[in-house]
Amino acid sequence: MKFFSLFFLILLAGVPAQAADAPAWSLVIHGGAGTILRENLDAETEAAYRAKLSEAMDAGAAILADGGSSLDAVEATIRVMEDSPLFNAGKGAVFTEAGANEMDSSIMDGRDLNAGAVAGIKTVRNPISAARAVMEKSPHVMMAREGAEKFAAAQGLVMEDPAYFRTERRWQGYLKAKEKRDADPDRKHGTVGCVAVDQAGNIAAGTSTGGMTLKMWGRIGDSPVIGAGTYANNKTCGVSATGHGEYFIRNVVAYDISALMEYAGLSLQEAAEKVVLGKLVAQQATGGIVALDAEGNIAMVFNTPGMYRGFRESNGEGQVAIFGE
């Protein structure tokens, strides 16, 4: 794997630490991390990404500002990105080795550690909503493939023909990757995610993805794995991850950040840096996370050249960023 050591120290903390004057609510999102370089993104495409990230945050922020729950905000925010062909989730999902679109998603409630996830689904328009249905309307945490689809349909979720998820951009990327086997340098990093804390102080986190380009039949990454790609606990933080899923599973990345806060007394930023810039880099694993805690501290840490990301707060603070600026 080729690495870009110049970027190993790239990280962004959205806001400084806060205490008594913490925002009433906060929201942070990502749209995937990888070799995202300014010279490779034309002005029109960059503007489209920034606009969609802002639109997604608008959806979640409106709910939080109205006193809504962090779970509702996370779901609404991610649905906007799932419905966009720009991101590797939902409508913009990449293709598997067999030339199909298979999606994974998860969501977690920091109040009681309840969680839900789906894996390998092909016909649910919004996988994040299917994950929430599993959490709230089933006795399980994770459901997969046809079983998850049947359950989602029974809950009244919007279903689509698999052709709905196909986009020409992803198809061409699949053909190139298939020809060269690893032509897409970002084939391991496409994911969307959101973490929110509401006015009641409750944290929720969610993640959704189309997985890895050319992934083998049956492969499942970190996005639907609670503790790896998604984690939320009111006592510590909420985390959504994006990156080379196999490493995020092995390192239980999302939970590890929470555990470092709970058991080692690290701050959110310190814990995120230790995991993403320390453990993952040592294993030559690439990716990043977005996270926040109940005090309104936000972390956006990544070891790749770029990560689509942004945050919004009730105090008017906000940002949309793409590159390592």
CB atoms within 10 A of CB 218: 11
Alpha-carbon Rg for the chain in angstroms: 18
**Structural contact between residues 212 and 246, judged by C-beta atoms closer than 8 angstroms:** no
Query: Token pair for residue 312?
Result: 């919004």
CA 239/CA 41 separation, integer angstroms: 27
Q: Residue type at 69?
A: S
Spatial CA neighbour of 105 closest among 141, 144, 131, 78: 131
Q: Name the residues annotated as catalytic.
A: 191
